[in-house]
Structure 1
Amino acid sequence: MASSVEFKNLKLSECFDQGLTSYENICESTEPSKESEVQYKIIKCMKMLEYATQLVSAAELYSNNETIEEVPTSDIKYMLLPFMLGSLALKLTNNGNRLNVVKTAEVYFRDYLQRCKDYGLTDVTLPSPYNETDETTTQFSMDFTLMARRRAEKIKNYKEQKLMESQLQLLKEQNKCENVEEECKRSYIISLLKFNVSKALEEIDSLQAEMRILHYKLKNEDNLDQIKGSKIKSKPLTPIIITKNELQKKVFGAGYPSLPTMTVEEFCQQRINDGVWHLPTAENTKCLQQLDEAPKKHESDNEDQLNEEVEENERQRLNARDEYKDDHRRGWGNRYNRS
């Protein structure tokens, strides 16, 4: 494998430590995960952690019959491998099959939780695996007792996570110092394992919800493809250029032989032949004449009425002027011309 060739000169501890440092840098980075450089770092880190996982499996460091107290301090940290691989898998964006990525990440998180449970680091109840063959309605038909227990576990894990967050930061700073005691290293790794349990549970819930959406989307896409395949294709529309006379028809037809052209007369005749338009009859002609004369008659009536109103307004204005002159002699309003 390419990963084993690249990291074959590294010991298990060196490979894991480099992978852990790279993993923390990727998680703390503010760069968008879609960037090609970030994707390259994610893939490289995953290969390194996958190679470390192969070395752990070959060395048979863990057993279901052991407890966490029996595991050496130097070997406890390798239990973080599935959690880190699951978190990195979710950051991949250049993979064409999102459903495959989601399923892979769920396997990593489920393996992490199961191992922590086997070693007594947690007593959480793992959610049932998502089965794509089940109907959508059965996914939500959960026992109320189980739902209440899951809710209580989430609340408990959330409170524990808040308490451990500050402790983890303190233990991390202590482990950076020289000559760190083995007990301090062990306490930090165990606290980190417990801290990631609640995160893994949240990720599994989110992944199962996403899988429901992806399966529903794929199912609808398949149905849509079937509908499109069985649908009768309609005849494509072709452009029709309407020309004014036979001369333009010849000119445009000669220049654009691929475009069908016709004169106005030919177009009208084609419409009549197709039954879209109908030739006018005597009754239709009479109706059209009446419709044509009606607006003109209405216009004439309106004009006469308007003229009568103008004449009446003018007559009233002249009468008012004459009455004003009778009551007001010329020059009465001019004080300076009084004798």
Structure 2
Amino acid sequence: MSVDPDEQKSLSELFYEAFQIHTDIENTSEPTNSEANQISIKRGIKLSQIVQSRTDELRLFSTNEEVGEISSINLKYLLSPSICGVLTSLVQTAREERKSLLISAEKLIFQFLDRCKDYNIGPIKDIERCLNVDDSKTVKNNPRDLASMNAEREAKIAKFKRNKELESRLKHLKSSLPENDSESSNVDDETLRNYWLAVIEKWIDISIENIGNISQEKEILSFWENMPDKNNPPVPAPSTSRNNKKPQNFILTRDKAQAAVFGAGYPSLPSMTVEQYFESHVAAGTLPDQGIGPSSGANGQQNGENSSDDESDDKLKKQREFDDWKDTHRRGDGNRMNMG
């Protein structure tokens, strides 16, 4: 019977390998669903599960003790459920299996947050708010007033400042620590304890953020599951009386308004015939040849003819003079342009 090589490794080696896998997944530029990342994620889940199984067998943690009773070397194993849960949420599965996988990841992260609450590690109010899912949903459904919005804003600002201070503290503590516990005898116990407590606080924020993402994804999956036909969305049935109706004229709103004002378009209908229009204008005396006085009779016409004859004579005279001038002047005479 073959023995799993991972079972032969120490608890510390298993933890650090799983911890490093999560760090690499977070910092890689490759997509999470790539084949290489998925292999690493599944290996990290396996290692974390072994760590959890061994810590349970050794009874390293108990709800009846305080955080000061946990040895500095064993503090890091509190992270195993959350590491396993976060990596589980990154596994790519079929849509039908996704919700059950998210529920498993959520339970693992809740296990980590429950332990942090029992040991009074990190922001307890944020942990309780995350664990109390029913209350958080009630708050979301109620309309928020200005006071609650300001309180939420102040909480986000405080969290941002706390994270900045935590990152600075982690960077300072990590510089004085070895990469694994094999050299822990050379490290001050208080420094080691402060480092892992800071890492646990950071993972509390990571866990709360992942719980929020899991909740949103579960809501989307529930909406998809409640669809009548997931593969074929419902299509409205055609109306039986549609063909019996006459097609209506399509008029844009702007054109319809213009038609109502200027009398153009579909609403405008003729109110009289052409003959009726002509007769009404004759009766009113508004036609072009009506209302012209006698002064514009034969004398006016004669004056118009005389003026037109005079204009034609002048025009003819000028044309003859121009013809005579062309006989004595060649074309181009007088043009001195471009000549030296």
TM > 0.5: yes
Q: Deviations over 1:67-88 (max 9, x none)?
A: 1101111211100112211221
On the 8 A contact 2:85/2:109 being kept in 1, the answer is yes
Which residue identity lines up with residue 207 of structure 2 in the other structure? A
**Gap change, CA 1:320 and 1:52, over 3 Å in 2:** farther
On the 8 A contact 2:224/2:230 being kept in 1, the answer is no
Larger radius of gyration between Structure 1 and Structure 2: 2
On the 8 A contact 1:157/1:198 being kept in 2, the answer is no
Distance in 2 between the 1:85 and 1:154 partners? 27
Q: How does 1:275-294 map to 2 (within 5 A)?
A: none
On the 8 A contact 2:110/2:131 being kept in 1, the answer is no
Q: How does 1:1-339 map to 2 (within 5 A)?
A: 5-96=4-95, 97-122=97-122, 123-124=124-125, 125-127=128-130, 140-141=141-142, 153-176=155-178, 179-220=186-227, 222=229, 227=234, 325-332=319-326, 334-335=328-329
Distance in 1 between the 2:103 and 2:142 partners? 22
SS at 2:324 equivalent: coil
Distance in 2 between the 1:323 and 1:103 partners? 109
The TM-score with structure 1 as length reference comes to 0.61
Q: Deviations over 1:239-296 (max 9, x none)?
A: xxxxxxxxxxxxxxxxxxxxxxxxxxxxxxxxxxxxxxxxxxxxxxxxxxxxxxxxxx
**Which structure's residues are more often helix, by fraction?**
1
Distance in 2 between the 1:334 and 1:137 partners? 110
Deviation at 1:66, TM superposition (A): 0.9
The TM-score with structure 2 as length reference comes to 0.61
**Gap change, CA 1:115 and 1:147, over 3 Å in 2:** farther
Distance in 2 between the 1:106 and 1:78 partners? 18
SS at 2:120 equivalent: coil
**Gap change, CA 1:69 and 1:160, over 3 Å in 2:** same
**Gap change, CA 1:38 and 1:212, over 3 Å in 2:** same
Task: Provide the aligned length of Structure 1 versus Structure 2.
Answer: 245
Q: Which moved more, 1:107-116 or 1:34-43?
A: 107-116
On the 8 A contact 1:130/1:208 being kept in 2, the answer is no
Distance in 1 between the 2:149 and 2:52 partners? 34
State the identity as a percent.
Answer: 22
Matching residue of 2:284: none
Runs of 5+ in structure 1 lacking a partner? Answer: 233-318
SS at 1:66 equivalent: coil
